Amino acid sequence: MNTAVKNRLSERGSVRTKFLLTIVVLFLIGNAGINFIPIAYQGESFKQEMQTAVVQGLANPVGAGKATEVVKTKLRRAALDNNLPADTFMDVKQNGNTIQAHVYYLKKIPIIPFGIYNYNYEFDHTATPTGFLSKSFE
């Protein structure tokens, strides 16, 4: 019985180490989620805003040259609402009967704290109208 107790003494302390390791891993995953999820949500929200702005610009009864300005204004307002970087590239073009909006930006997201690892979130999306507005009525 004495040898069984001696063998068990070498196992003590491993629970604390495993618990500490588990807490560190959960902290890193939580930190990454807290930093990444809002940026990804803003990107998806801006995609919807782009789609809405393109459709509204196409359906707007103003002249052809004014439609692109309407879309640019709506995209700038949406960029401010979604905290896009100042160096965001926005290009709005009219191709025949449709309007295309292309937006590109890059944001650094601190995934691991203390600047150990930053993820480059790259947003590159082109919005074109879909549905009955994209069909030409000739």
Tens digit of each residue's pLDDT (9 = 90 or more) over 19-58 = 999 999 999 999 999 999 999 999 999 999 999 999 988 8
Q: Of 130 and 3, which is predicted with more confidence?
A: 130
Q: Of 30 and 95, which is predicted with more confidence?
A: 30
DSSP string, 5-38: HHHHHTTTTHHHHHHHHHHHHHHHHHHHHHHHHH
Q: Please state the rounded mean pLDDT for residues 87-105.
A: 92
89-93 LR contacts (CB < 8 Å, sep 24+): 92/68, 93/68
**Sign (positive/negative) of CA torsion 122, 44, 89, 118?**
negative
**pLDDT score of 22:** 96
Neighbours of 92 (CB within 10 A): 23
